[in-house]
Structure 1
Amino acid sequence: MKLHAGEPAAGPWRRATAGEVLDVLLAGVDGTGRVVVAVDGRSAAGKTTLTAALHAEAERRGVPAAVVHTDDIAWYHSFFDWGHLLADGVLRPFRAGGAVSYVPPGWRPNGRDGAVEVPARTQLLVVEGVGAGRREVGELLDAVVWVQSDVDRARVRGIARDTASGVNGDPAQTEAFWDEWDREEVPFQAAERPWERAALVVAGAGDAGPVGAGEFLVGPGPAAG
């Protein structure tokens, strides 16, 4: 797997289900209160896929779960200068025990209705996105998982995904936006080094080898146990 400079290769890899991944992330949590898990990784690593699987597994177990995407917090605000918004707008209110209904500052001025919602019944909150495991919110997290990805494969996946959705314009505009984002993401993650706080490392989609439906390749993280 081709990685960015400074990011260590994870492994050895083993196959695991979403349930086994969730068990590792919840190891050491006493189960009496609310739990926050951060799913961090580079763009197009496979974070959303893993997050959806963890959410579905929690609900299957009867654990009320919710997902917050950092892209929604950052929308029309800043690529990465939003840690205080996540902490004050979502994580601290969630830890206080109530429902969360937070309107990020970029929404209303840019015509976006609604809010980031976390129902009061939620016991497991999964925060997904680049920077979800940042140090700034570390005291508010119970576990971090790092999704490790191949640099070139992730770029191809990301540009293809965004081109198909049209979210960043035509193919040329999409590629230009990817490069603009990458120029901020790479030094941000190099400084944050969230993989060092991960209880588990999960390989991006096919980046460390093929997996079956509902399976992931996982390796131990420095914060395991």
Structure 2
Amino acid sequence: MAVHPNPPAFARRALPIRERVMLQPEEPPVCAWQASDARAFAGYVLSLAGAHSDRPGIVAVDGRGGAGKTTLTSMLVSASPGAQVLHIDDVDWNEPLYQWDHLLVTALGELHRAGSLDFTPPAWHRHGREGSVVVPAGAPFVIVEGTGAGMRAVVDLIDVHIWVQTDDGVAEERGIGRDTALGVNGDAEETIHFWHWWMAGERSFFAADRPWERAHLIVSGEPLPGLAAGELAWAEGPLR
């Protein structure tokens, strides 16, 4: 992973030590969170990704389902006009759980080679989904958003890896509530069943992949005590 050698300084302050938090098996909790202005932090992340003459800077926003990845991604995109988002949900659509690493390698490899992307995952053809995953040439940054975005298979293809750390109970409640409201996994009972199935696969994957051990930055996906309006909590990675 290429990291900008001289990232800009910006204001940060320590937050109170957090009480007990439930996380992925063997995932260490952050012990010393710091608070910063969210937009300043977004600028810091993009400076770490760096400017490249022939391709976009690539930032992976990784974390378990319901962790808060989409919120963080929106913040990063708003800090860089023209930034594009590569959604893992599009890459792994109708693929077996976490058996799609080769597809993400293909997509990010194409971004490195061509500086743009027009990629149709094979399951799209099989299931009649039209279109493709497109990143136009000239995009300054691509934010790869989704569970597994920073998986070990793409360690050499991303510039900055962010792990979003969120209490398991908070993430589960968010995910079930969101999917129930959208009706994407059936009724409330079916959604709960889906999420428990999803969580089992997710835990197994993360236990083997251990993305927090490679993350440049850790971001709290939930508000922490002591945060002011417009701030987020973060820490330097990795976590071991």
Fold shared, TM-score > 0.5 on shorter chain? yes
> How far does the alpha carbon of each residue in 1:175-194 deviate from its partner, in whole angstroms, 9 at most, with x for none?
11101111110010111111
What runs of 5+ residues in structure 2 fail to find an aligned partner?
Answer: 1-20
C-alpha displacement of 1:197: 1.1
C-alpha displacement of 1:124: 0.6
In structure 1, the partner of 2:238 is: 222
Name the aligned partner's letter for residue 82 of structure 1. W
> How far does the alpha carbon of each residue in 1:2-28 deviate from its partner, in whole angstroms, 9 at most, with x for none?
212200011411222333333443455
Deviates more, 1:67-76 or 1:11-20: 11-20
Contact 1:18-1:54 at 8 Å conserved across structures: no
| 1:90-109 → structure 2 map (5 Å cutoff) | 90-109=107-126
Distance in 1 between residues matched to 2:225 and 2:209, nearest whole Å: 27
Q: Percent identity?
A: 42
Contact 1:18-1:57 at 8 Å conserved across structures: no
Distance in 1 between residues matched to 2:155 and 2:169, nearest whole Å: 29
> Per the alignment, do residues 31 and 98 of structure 1 end up closer, same or farther by CA in structure 2, a change over 3 Å counting?
closer
In structure 2, the partner of 1:2 is: 22
Name the aligned partner's letter for residue 161 of structure 2. V
C-alpha displacement of 1:58: 1.2
Q: Which has the higher contact order (CA 8 A, sep 6+)?
A: 1
In structure 1, the partner of 2:75 is: 53
Aligned residues: 217
Distance in 2 between residues matched to 1:18 and 1:202, nearest whole Å: 11
Distance in 1 between residues matched to 2:84 and 2:32, nearest whole Å: 31
C-alpha displacement of 1:162: 0.5
Distance in 1 between residues matched to 2:206 and 2:191, nearest whole Å: 22
Contact 1:77-1:105 at 8 Å conserved across structures: no
In structure 1, the partner of 2:104 is: 86
In structure 2, the partner of 1:149 is: 166
Contact 2:60-2:150 at 8 Å conserved across structures: yes
In structure 1, the partner of 2:132 is: 115
SS of equivalent residue, structure 2 residue 24: coil
Distance in 2 between residues matched to 1:176 and 1:81, nearest whole Å: 21
When normalised by structure 2's length, the TM-score is 0.84
Give the aligned CA root-mean-square deviation in angstroms: 1.8
Contact 1:201-1:219 at 8 Å conserved across structures: yes
Deviates more, 1:153-162 or 1:98-107: 98-107
Distance in 2 between residues matched to 1:100 and 1:115, nearest whole Å: 9
